[in-house]
């Protein structure tokens, strides 16, 4: 696997799964634009880690649910590196609540950050990928978008939406040498899942055939493969990285 001629954008890559993806793509040679919405320091330190690996990297603060910020993210990448070959739609949030108590705001925030962002970033990146007739779009969905999860109607809807979006765009752009795939992680050990109560985590582990939460690196390895030339004949797919959860 060699991505040394490729330029990648990884959204939400200051920590967790996004950070692991950014580091893995750099490890196999890619130039990586890292992004988050918060303070500059965490994402800048990921860019520093990548530069220390002798790869190029740039940190761009942008809210991926904002059309103008997404334009800035993609245009900054193109003006610095001339192209975008790989887009990893990773940024995501949760606002858990049972449906009867879920506010309009909790619904809208999750749909905007977890689904609308995928539309905005994909549309912006495709403009350059279509011209160069090569591209990889990889979006991080969730096993929750496949099997459902009480308290996550907003999140499950956004993640299921990513799957429909992926299958559709894969068909729209296949003739241009661009593949579009999604990864559906199960429970991965990050800040997002560290918030869960210990008792609930033990219950969840019983639903995972492999018996433990995955690591961000497990997801990153799958992303690097889908981004590679070796995966050129795979498009419109959802790859579960979930310890066997969606089969149980
Ligand atoms: P995380 O640790 O909470 O990190 C989320 C990242 O997204 C952070 O870098 C955050 O930036 C960034 N972000 C949030 N809102 C953003 C916005 N509007 N614009 C740009 N960046 C934004 O999450 P994670 O667990 O690594 O999850 C990464 C992805 O995997 C998400 O899409 C999540 O739904 C999915 N996933 C996670 C699991 C799991 O078990 N962890 C399972 C299935 C799917 P700040 O640091 O600035 O907030």
Report the CATH number at residue 184: 3.40.50.720
**200 falls in which pLDDT band (50, 70, 90)?**
confident
Using CA atoms in the order 32, 38, 44, 47, what is the torsion angle rounded to 10 degrees?
-20
Q: State the catalytic residue, choosing from 81, 155, 212, 233.
A: 155
Does 74 fall in a domain? Answer: yes
**What residues does ligand 1 touch, defined as CB less than 6 Å away?**
11-12, 14-18, 35-38, 63-65, 90-93, 113, 140, 142, 185, 187-188, 190-193
User: How many C-beta neighbours within 10 Å does residue 247 have?
Assistant: 9
The percent of the chain in helix, strand and coil, each rounded to the nearest 5, is 55, 15, 30
Q: Is the pLDDT of residue 85 over 90?
A: yes
The residue contributing the CA closest to ligand 1 atom 11 is: 36
* Atom in ligand 1 nearest the alpha carbon of residue 114: 32
CB 88 within 8 A of CB 140: yes
pLDDT tens digits, one per residue of 100-157? 999 999 999 999 999 999 999 999 999 999 999 999 999 999 999 999 999 999 999 9
pLDDT at 108: 98
Does 1 fall in a domain? Answer: no
CB 189 within 8 A of CB 157: no
Q: What is the rounded CA–CA span in Å between residue 222 and residue 116?
A: 23
Q: 19 CA to middle of ligand 1, Å?
A: 10
Does 123 fall in a domain? Answer: yes
Ramachandran region, residue 58 (left: φ > 0; alpha: ψ -120 to 50; beta: rest): beta
pLDDT at 117: 98
Strand spans (E) along 94-225: 135-140, 178-185
Determine the angle formed by the axes of helices 40-52 and 16-27, rounding to 10 degrees: 20
Residue 200: is it exposed, middle or buried by C-beta count within 10 angstroms (0-12/13-18/19+)? exposed
Does 93 fall in a domain? Answer: yes
> CB-based contacts of 198: which residues, under 8 Å, 6+ apart?
none
Does 2 fall in a domain? Answer: no
Does 157 fall in a domain? Answer: yes
Q: 4 CA to middle of ligand 1, Å?
A: 26
**196 falls in which pLDDT band (50, 70, 90)?**
confident
Strand spans (E) along 13-107: 31-36, 57-61, 86-89
* For range 230-246, the mean pLDDT: 97
pLDDT at 192: 86
Q: What is the rounded CA–CA span in Å between residue 74 and residue 22?
A: 16
Two structure tokens written together for 67 = 């059309």
Q: Which of 38, 72, 88, 91 to mutate to test the pocket of ligand 1 (most atoms within 8 A of CB)?
A: 91
Q: Is the pLDDT of residue 159 over 70?
A: yes
Parent domain of 35:
7-247
**24 falls in which pLDDT band (50, 70, 90)?**
very high
Q: 16 CA to middle of ligand 1, Å?
A: 7
CB 98 within 8 A of CB 150: yes
CA dihedral (182, 123, 126, 190) positive or negative = negative
The residue contributing the CA closest to ligand 1 atom 32 is: 92
Radius of gyration of the chain measured on its C-alpha atoms: 17
Domain count, the chain: 1
The residue contributing the CA closest to ligand 1 atom 47 is: 38
pLDDT tens digits, one per residue of 48-78? 999 999 999 999 999 999 999 999 999 999 9
pLDDT over 70, % of the chain:
100
pLDDT at 248: 57
pLDDT over 90, % of the chain:
92
81 a catalytic residue: no
Does 125 fall in a domain? Answer: yes
Three-class DSSP category at 139: strand
CB 151 within 8 A of CB 97: yes
Helix (H) or strand (E) holding 130: helix 117-132
Helix (H) or strand (E) holding 9: strand 7-10
Q: 42 CA to middle of ligand 1, Å?
A: 13
Does 101 fall in a domain? Answer: yes
């Amino acid at each position: 696997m060699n991505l040394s001629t490729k330029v990648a954008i990884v959204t939400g890559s200051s920590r967790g799964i996004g950070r692991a993806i950014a580091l893995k793509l750099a490890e196999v040679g890619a130039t990586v634009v890292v992004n988050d919405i918060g303070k500059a320091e965490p994402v800048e330190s990921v860019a520093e880690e990548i530069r220390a690996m002798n790869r190029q990297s740039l940190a761009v603060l942008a809210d991926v649910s904002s059309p103008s910020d997404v334009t800035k993210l993609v245009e900054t990448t193109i003006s610095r590196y001339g192209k975008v070959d790989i887009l990893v739609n990773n940024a995501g949030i949760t606002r858990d609540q049972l449906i009867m108590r879920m506010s309009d705001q909790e619904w809208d925030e999750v749909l905007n950050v977890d689904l609308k962002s995928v539309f905005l970033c994909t549309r912006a990146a495709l403009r350059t990928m279509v011209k160069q007739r090569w591209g990889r779009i990889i979006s991080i969905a969730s096993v929750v978008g496949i099997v459902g999860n009480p308290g996550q109607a907003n999140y499950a809807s956004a993640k299921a939406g990513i799957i429909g979006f992926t299958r559709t765009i894969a068909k729209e752009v296949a003739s241009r040498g661009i593949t579009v795939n999604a990864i559906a992680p199960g429970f991965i050990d990050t800040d997002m899942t560290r918030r869960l109560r210990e008792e609930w985590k033990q219950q969840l582990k019983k639903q995972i055939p492999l018996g433990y939460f995955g690591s961000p690196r497990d997801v990153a390895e799958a992303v690097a493969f889908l981004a590679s030339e070796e995966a050129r004949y795979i498009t419109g797919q959802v790859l579960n990285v979930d310890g066997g959860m969606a089969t149980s």
